[in-house]
Amino acid sequence: MQLSSIINPRFVYLDHQFNTYQEIISFVAEKFSNAVNINSEDIKDALNKRENLGTTFLGHYLALPHGYLDKINDIYVIFIRLSHQMSVSYNNRDNKIKYIFAVLTSTKKAQIYLKVLSAIAHLVTTDSHLLDNAKTGKELIELIEKKQLKVDEGLVASNLIFTNVSIDNNKTIAEAVDVMKNNNITFLPVVDSSEQLLGIIDLADIFAATFKGESISATSLSVIHDLRSAKELLFEPIQLFWENEHKLLVGDIMRNADTYTIRTDGSYSEIVFAMTKNHHRYLVVVDKDNKVAGLVDTDDIVHKMIRV
């Protein structure tokens, strides 16, 4: 089955704009309602039920709101291209969306939905220019048809990248902390000047390096006699960090990245295996030349896949 065969030109909406994500949900529910003759509030409830389980943002400016209703026996897809990128916040992370593929189906069609998701993710990650260049719904379907995207291929790591951020090995750990803060993450792949992966660092590595072995032990806490001494004791590690953050380079404290890497064509099952075997939250996606393509947040596996 081709992806183009399940997208109706009448369900393609180009260059629309909304003030909130809930406006998008309401718009989609109304359009689905007209197609399947089911109350729009029931459809909205189904869509929001899934949204409440976790984000349906897939990265690459793509949101994929979806819902299940046993009253229907088919799968319906709506595509919306926003006229401007829209910021949607989830779990303290701001996500920019431009493309919305909304899917409505029944629980009996869950496997088909996963295959549709894979085809859509592949389209957006490799051929988003098709979505940008189409002037009509019919033209969009024709462009997608030429790509012959099949709804039977599995998701791979490159489809699940949520951000592409890294840090040069010659940067200071102060700069690394700034990158982490700006991207709301606590983990970074370390690269050389050609963007090849050298290692990884996380916040714990930075603290361990800057505190130089200093720690707050149970013994030291037992000798606290007043609030003033407590403040001095608790402040000391932070002071050590401030003193050393501009002295140490990322390359000096990075760790081996072998167990954190997965190839761009790594399957969904390989991602889950790496996640469970090594207990890593983040995986670094690398291409055939060992260049960093982005990060996969294994928390997203729960929100995007296990709770489809």
Q: Among 129, 152, 175, identify where a domain stops.
A: 152
Domain assignment of residue 249, given as a range: 167-304
Same domain, 242 and 184: yes
Q: In this predicted model, what pLDDT tens digit does every residue of 165-214 receive, in sequence order?
A: 999 999 998 999 999 988 888 999 999 999 999 999 998 888 788 765 54
Same domain, 108 and 174: no
Assess if residue 158 is contained within a domain. Answer: no
Same domain, 262 and 299: yes
Q: In this predicted model, what pLDDT tens digit does every residue of 114-152 receive, in sequence order?
A: 778 778 877 887 888 889 989 999 999 888 888 877 776
Same domain, 205 and 130: no
Per-residue pLDDT, 182: 86
CATH of the domain at 133: 3.40.930.10
Same domain, 118 and 7: yes
Same domain, 299 and 178: yes
Same domain, 86 and 138: yes
DSSP the chain: -BGGGG--GGGEEEEE--SSHHHHHHHHHHHHHHHHT--HHHHHHHHHHHHTTS--EEETTEE--EEE-TT--S-EEEEEEEEEEEEEEETTEEEEEEEEEEEEE-GGGHHHHHHHHHHHHHHHHHHHHHHHH--SHHHHHHHHHHHT-BTT---BGGGG--B---EETTSBHHHHHHHHHHHT-SEEEEE-TT-BEEEEEEHHHHHHHHHTT----HHHHHT--SHHHHHHHHHHHHHHHHHHTTTSBHHHH-B--GGGEEETT-BHHHHHHHHHHH--SEEEEE-TTSBEEEEEEHHHIIIIIIT-
